[in-house]
Amino acid sequence: MKNVTKLMIALVALVALGTACSKYPGFKKDKKEGFYYKFYEQNKKEIQPQIGDIVEFTYGFRTKDSILVENVFWDDMIKESAYRGDIYAALQKMHLGDSATFILDGDTFFYYSAGAPFPFDGNDLYIDIKLHSIVSQEEYERRYLEQMQQEEAMMEDFRLLEGDLIAEYVEKQNIKVKPTASGLYFVKNVSGKGKAIKEGSQVAIHYTGKFLDGTVFDSSVEYGMPIELTVGVDRFIQGWEEALLLMRGGDKATILIPSHLAYGARGIKDPRDPSGTAFIIPPYTPLVFDLEVASVE
């Protein structure tokens, strides 16, 4: 009789286990955190992130049937969990180089991350994660300081080279005009007969922006329509502000702008670069613009 009872208990346990696992076939449940997970690549001999570590990972969000976001590179510091089974708990379950999928409660996740309910059918949020790197906060700060020192050295090189680059360009392009007091070179190519531009004038401008080697980085011509602005109100780079006040409707001009009249020491960083080290316009970069005044009001 005892053996029969034990057998029945075992069968009941197996049935319960099977029922629990059948909700998400192929996934296991973390009893402590409450989420379900499945590893595709697992490196148990590698380190796991701890509170305070900075991790770099690629993630994607999806429901059971639809992809919401995929292949996003991100870095973050591992923090104390805001609630049971959050993303930080999931990351701490991984080892360096692991890839896995975690099934979290979508409503809870969105409540804590966006302050809103899960905007999709069902409550299940599938998060696909590939863990690329784990560094301590101390090591991260050391690397950051080293990166900043490298950037400062690079910017100093740009600063020292700028004067020579401008002088070389002026000579090569046979520019005869003298720079203005601010350092702007203004070369009028076509004289128009329209209204003179003043502070407060509403103007439409076609432009093409280039580096000194002739590479185009932006152009209204490609968009098929001029940019509209109010001079002295819609603030653009200082070189533009100065040049436009020298122009009138119908004018065409080429201007050479030293960096202190453009984007200076900061440049413009490329938002598509996750490392934050790539630039669309590097620091201390002089620029050339071809301008055409389409209209003046």
Rounded distance, CA 20 to CA 259, Å?
A: 64
Residue 104 pLDDT = 95
CA 56, 59, 62 angle in degrees (round to 5)? 165
Q: Which amino acid is at 177?
A: V
CA 177, 173, 208 angle in degrees (round to 5)? 90
HSE-up (13 A, CA, CB side) for residue 61: 14
Residue 275 pLDDT = 67
- Helix, strand and coil percent figures for the chain, each rounded to 5: 30, 30, 40
Looking at 23-37, 41-55, 64-78, 265-279, which range is the least confident one? 265-279
Provide the β-strand partners of residue 126. Answer: 62, 103
CATH number for 161-296 (one of 3.40.190.10, 3.10.50.40, 3.40.50.300, 3.30.70.100): it is: 3.10.50.40
Percentage of the chain surpassing pLDDT 70? 92
**Cβ-based neighbours of 111, under 8 Å, separated by 6 or more:** 117
Q: At residue 238, does pLDDT exceed 80?
A: yes
240-275 confidence digits (pLDDT tens): 999 999 999 999 999 999 999 999 988 898 888 766
Q: What value does the mean pLDDT of the chain take?
A: 89
Count of other CB atoms within 10 angstroms of residue 45: 8
Structure confidence at residue 12 as a pLDDT band (50, 70, 90)? very low
**For the chain, what are the domain ranges?**
23-135, 161-296
Q: What are phi and psi of 97, to 5 degrees?
A: 90, -5
Residue 116 pLDDT = 86
Closest CA to 289 of 205, 223, 228: 205
207-216 confidence digits (pLDDT tens): 999 999 999 9
**Cβ-based neighbours of 92, under 8 Å, separated by 6 or more:** 48, 49, 50, 78
| Alpha-carbon distance values, 160 to 146, 169, 178, 184, 282 (Å) | 21, 16, 22, 18, 14
Q: What is the CATH code for 23-135? A: 3.10.50.40
pLDDT (average), residues 123-142: 92
Rounded distance, CA 63 to CA 182, Å?
A: 57
Range 228-239 burial, b when 16+ CB lie within 10 A, else e: ebebeeeeebeb
Domains 23-135 and 161-296 share a fold: yes
